[in-house]
Structure 1
Amino acid sequence: MAVTVRLVPLAGRYGIARLAPGAPLPAWGDGPGFVSLTRTADELSVVCLQDRIPADVRRDLDWRCLALAGPFAFGEAGIVASVVGPVSAHGLGVFVASTFDGDHLLVKAADFAAACGLLAAAGHRIDPAEAGEGEGRA
């Protein structure tokens, strides 16, 4: 494998919410832990710790997050593919969010241990999990 990535498991369970494309940025989406807000012509997606997402919002819960320790150069090829490939090749679903300095791989909590094993077997380094399921590392 040409690319080796250090992955940092973030504490807590994450949710992915879908709002209408013209919805205002929700105050509940901001706070500790990883947060990603993405607007397209079709939707506003919010990724945050799941306990902040209101029950009346369309959402998918029980995701765990692995931060790809960057930063990575914009032209550096294969970073995301190197972590998505081993996981998806074994039938596990993923959700990926990117930032200026790095990327975040989310997998269902029920698949988290298996995903970490697959990533380690592919040559990636998994840091020890952060303690607890509460507030995540920002």
Structure 2
Amino acid sequence: MDDLERIAAEITAYYRALDECATQRHHFRHADEEGGLWYIEVVPDRGKLIVTKQAELTAAGRLHRYSWEHLEDEHGGLTDQAIDPGQDPLEAIPAEEFQHVWPRRAVWTTTLEAVFLSIMRSVLIEQGAWAGDLGQVDA
């Protein structure tokens, strides 16, 4: 095993151990400038909040998910920076909202539209802007 493979294996093992051994989890949402929504799950480790799962739901309805099982791809990757809810522009959310975009088993293209509509409906209701059915979303 070369150095890069060893480092990648160590990083994966670190995030996996955090995820599998966590006794406390926190969930946050962030809206970006392009209209996308970011969802993160963090666990405490040595006084810091470490992101163990991260999902980006783009304005176009595409879902990109990152964790120890899938650290990165051509769209991005799991952040390696600890978060500070007091400094970072994050909104605390219930675990159930996070689970809408991070189901226990992977359900990608068949439910992306439904997930996107469900989340957008929740956001609009929360903001007092819900006025009925969102209608169809172009794929």
* More strand by percentage: 1
Larger Rg belongs to: 2
- State the TM-score, normalized to the length of structure 2: 0.29
* More helix by percentage: 2
- State the TM-score, normalized to the length of structure 1: 0.29
Higher relative contact order (CA 8 A, sep 6+): 1
